[in-house]
Amino acid sequence: MRERAHLERMHVRLLAVAAGFGALFGAVALKLTFATVISPMAPEQRQIAPQVPDIPKIDPKGSLAGALNLPQVHRAMIVDRNGQALAVSLPVAQVYANPRELIDPGDVTKKLKSVLPQLDEAETVRRLSTQKQFVYLARNITLQQELAINNFGIPGIYFEAGERRHYPLGIVASQIMGGVDIDDHGIAGVERFFDKRLNSDKMPLKLSLDVRVQSVVREELAKAKDEFKAIGACAIVMDVRTGELVAMVSLPDYDANDFAHASPDARFNRAVTGMYEPGSTFKLQTAAMALQLGVAHPWDRFSSIPIRVGRFHIADMKSDHFTPWLTLTEVMAYSSNPAAAHIALDVGAVRQRDWLRNMGFFAPVPVELPEAGRPIVPAQRNWGISTVMTVGFGHGVAEPPLAIVRGTAATVNGGVLVKPTLLDRDDPSDEASTAADTAQNEGPASVVRVSDGRDTGDGTGEAPRVVTPEGTQVLSPETSALLRRILRLDVTLGTGKTAESPGYFVGGKTGTAEKIGPHGGYLKHVNIAAFTGIFPMNNPRYSVYVMLDSPQATPATHGWTTAAWNAAPTVSKIITRVGPMLQIFPDTEHAAQIDAQMAIPLRPAVPRGMRALGPGNDPGDPRAAAEEEKAQKKRAAEEARESARGAVVPASAEQTVRPANTVRRG
């Protein structure tokens, strides 16, 4: 009986122990269920947790920007005006190790090599064999590679969250995008200009660019560059009312994802950094200031006879198609250099310099690119009679193409000098910074309202929408309207005929300038060919500019390398293709009516009671100007003698471009 009782007690104890173990294992199982299934525990922070994004939620109204708004990515996206991604940051990881925690560096290296083929085995073994507590092994590995390495379960191998900048469209707008360094800080382009904004605000930065237009412009420009074997080229499309840059192309270019290996020539943005003599495109400024200042009128005539001033000889490439005296409208249509020089002399050196300064030609263009360069202009002390004349037809100064586009826009948009911008004006997220930028770069601005929509009597009956360009009023609306007709004339009857695009009423000005050689002289038959255009001319919306650096003649150009044979037809092709993309469609139905309203005679009649400038009434006679210049130099010499001897003249950022003995431009 005693043994039976003892066995029963043992049995109870065993049941109790079994129940205890059962309860214990049940608790462990329950805990594991919570930890792994119901409520999984988060991994250690320095392990893979920082790299795992939240489970995405379906948002039928979501955008690409929202889809890529990952919590572990800090630098904001850059998109075009339509939301197309231009620059995104992708989550990556940096692999590092604590060598003191490793058991077998060789085995660890082999495992890492199986996932990271580019890993240097010998160097990795050496680094893992040190007594350091921290060594980097690889940067910017993908999420898949991180998962594969983590699955090895190697003690002492850790991951650091990071991001890598990616440019989905590669070569599209590469010089505008710029690039970032290994620490994700902008080092060029808008990446650098907006570096603080991109790292502090995760909202996408919306640019004014339209990648559709950008791609078309690049394609047509590349064709022209190849056809005429130019060493470089650039093209710009800008909204003349807002200053928004819809496209900006510089060739050669590069893949933005390979910024570090791009050549300096490919990185060079010819649109804002390159300085080129504007050639005859600058005659537009000469005509504009003469008309605005009231020193010339469309009916006034100016001598096209070659001018010799000292050792300088100013002549036209070809003069058999016009008379020795040309009206101002003929000067623009036929692009006469001596006649433009006469107009500039009528304006005078002081007013010419003031005009160009007020038009922004003496300072870098205020655009959101750190690469914007400073123009090369003669110092005031060297701004004599020869400079006045040569600058009058675009010689002796060097300007970036964007400055020419900006100046052209001001002559046709009602007379407002707008600020070129790469920001979408309709993007509310950047209104404050844009306003601050404008105030800083432009100062007080007068606001002018110009109409948007074809409200010039084209018969469509469309009600105009009012747009308010912001900028400085530099011309009167009346002068601007007159210049629109003159620029249209250059395409219908002048040197810019090849820029015409049916139904778009293109206006503009050709410009061909000889290049300056490495030793300062001009290179014969080596040109900068450019065309600055506007469309539609009856209601200006966009400026289109094309420049070819050192184009060569082809059988189709009959030996010519001037802008009318290469740059102007390229502008025509661009306008024809991008017009519909910009919601501007050719109007051929009302073409005759619009052209009649835009027409201006090559030789306008002189109003009654007016005495036109011309033979016997030429205040811009170089001989009279030469005498005045001698008097000015004499007065300057007398003033210099009175000043203290040995005074050091500070170095100027402005450089003098000396004309060659013979200056010929088209």
Residue with tokens 């680094």: 127
Residue 50: name the closest of 138, 159, 157, 156 by CA.
159
Cβ atoms of 378 and 349 closer than 8 Å: no
HEC per residue, 52-92: CCCCCCCCCCCCHHHHCCCCCCCCCCEECCCCCEEEEEEEE
Say if residue 650 is preceded by a cis peptide, omega within 30 of 0: no
Say if CB 374 and CB 363 are below 8 A apart. Answer: yes
Measured CA to CA in angstroms, residue 209 lies from 254, 405, 506 at distances of 18, 16, 22
The owner of tokens 């519909």 is: 580
Residues 164, 390 contacting (CB under 8 angstroms) = no
Is residue 229 left, alpha or beta, with left meaning phi > 0 and alpha meaning psi from -120 to 50?
A: left
The type of residue at 39 is: S
Length of the chain: 666
Nearest CA to 486 among 292, 285, 241, 298?
298
Calpha distance 404→95 (Å, rounded): 50
Q: Give the C-alpha separation, 390 to 382, whole Å.
A: 13
Instruction: Give the β-pairing of 542-549 and 232-239.
Output: antiparallel
| Nearest-angstrom CA–CA distance, 585 and 579 | 6
- Amino acid 73 reads V
* CB of 42 closer than 8 Å to CB of 54: no
**What is each CA distance from 105 to 111, 145, 425, 650, in whole angstroms?**
10, 19, 57, 63
E-strand stretches of 317-353: 325-327
Instruction: Compute the distance between CA of residue 55 and CA of residue 364 in angstroms, rounded to an integer.
Output: 48
Contacts of 573 (CB under 8 A, 6+ apart): 220
Residue 136 sits at the vertex; the CA angle it makes with 135 and 137, to the nearest 5 degrees, is: 115
Distance of CA 289 to the CA centre of its chain: 27
Q: How far is the C-alpha of 542 from the C-alpha of 547, rounded, in Å?
A: 17
Out of 280, 303, 543, 550, the active site residue is 280
558 phi, psi to nearest 5 deg: 55, 35
280 is catalytic: yes
Q: Are 340 and 328 in contact (CB under 8 A)?
A: no
Residue 315 makes CB contacts below 8 A (sequence gap 6+) with 306, 307, 337, 338, 662, 663, 664
C-beta separation of 214 from 390 below 8 A: no
Per the structure block, which two tokens stand in for 528? 């900068």
Taking residue 291's Cβ as centre, other Cβ atoms within 10 Å add up to 24
Distance, in Å, from the CA atom of 154 to the CA atom of 187, rounded to the nearest integer, reads 37
Q: Is 104 helix (H, G, I), strand (E, B) or coil?
A: coil
Give residues with Cβ within 8 angstroms of 518, minimum separation 6: none
Q: Which SS3 state, helix, strand or coil, does residue 456 take?
A: coil
Annotated active-site positions, please? 280
